[in-house]
Amino acid sequence: MGQFEVELENVKLEVINMWQLVLSQLSKAREAMETFNKDLGREVMAKEKRVNALELKIDRDCENVFALYCPVAIDLRFLLAALKINTNLERIGDIADGIARYIVDSPKAFRKDALESTQLIQMYDESVSILTDTQASFEFENTLLDRTIFTRDDVLDDINKLADNKIAEYISKNPDNIHEALYILSIIRKLERVGDQCKNIAEEIIFYFEAKVLKHQ
């Protein structure tokens, strides 16, 4: 393996490490929400700096490969995809940090009936599953798995569309829990954006492996 191939492999490993870190952040934020573990929420907030630092390192390493080797064809597509995937992963890291902050700021735990009636737990589990599968598709070159992301994101969109009415109904029955309801609605909005970021990532993986541009189609 030549130095160029070594550099590409290092970038790929860094992107996978970024994926694992962001996935851990999102999963821990979910656990903090469900168990009302403020310490775990603070841990997610503290590790956000690691997400940002890794994003910058991946950007720099990709730029160095561009400058030194002038890649073409699939190698060029890989680096372009890596840069965009990196940006989308960092944004998901921001979302996990934002959810953790809601938990830390909340004066009391979210009621189980509120989480169930809004389908927040279902939405969260699907978001984590989609992000996990995008990583698997990247590692194992499985673009068929990527194509499932688009329809699975529709599930998140549907829950998000129903959220306003469900939150309004919950508030009407529990007027003393308005702040809790608004936190839940905000988390639903954030998870809907996780789905959008994962769709973007899936498009980039398909571009990398198949040289097909799906953006805006």
Q: Above 70 in pLDDT, residue 216?
A: no
Q: What is the pLDDT of residues 6-37, one digit of tens each?
A: 999 999 999 999 999 999 999 999 999 999 99
Q: Is 119 left (phi over 0), alpha (psi -120 to 50) or beta?
A: left
Tokens of 57: 């390192």
In a domain, 75, yes or no: yes
Rg (CA), the chain: 19
Per the rule left: phi > 0, alpha: psi between -120 and 50, beta: everything else, 198 is: alpha
100 close to 42: Cβ distance less than 8 angstroms: yes
For residue 183, the model assigns a pLDDT of: 96
pLDDT in tens, 165-176: 999 999 999 999
Enter the DSSP assignment of 87.
H
pTM of this structure: 0.96
Q: Which two tokens stand for residue 135?
A: 């990583």
Whether 216 is covered by a domain: the verdict is no
- Is residue 215 a part of any domain in this protein? no
Number of domains observed in the structure of the chain:
1
Residue 200: inside a domain: yes
Is residue 196 situated within a structural domain? yes
- Report DSSP state, residue 216: T
CA distance 66 to 73: 13
Res 193: pLDDT: 98
Task: Identify whether the C-beta of residue 156 lies closer than 8 Å to the C-beta of residue 126.
Answer: yes
Q: Is there a domain that residue 55 lies in? A: yes
- 62-90 confidence digits (pLDDT tens): 999 999 999 999 999 999 999 999 999 99
Task: For the chain, give the number of residues.
Answer: 217
CATH number at residue 62: 1.20.58.220
Does residue 217 fall inside a structural domain? no
pLDDT tens for each residue of 130-146: 999 999 999 999 999 99
- Please give the residue range of the domain that contains residue 160: 3-210
pLDDT of 1: 75
Is residue 214 pLDDT above 90, yes or no? no
* Tokens matching residue 207: 């571009």
Give the pLDDT confidence of 33-52 residue by residue, as tens digits. 999 999 999 999 999 999 99
Residue 186 lies in a domain: yes
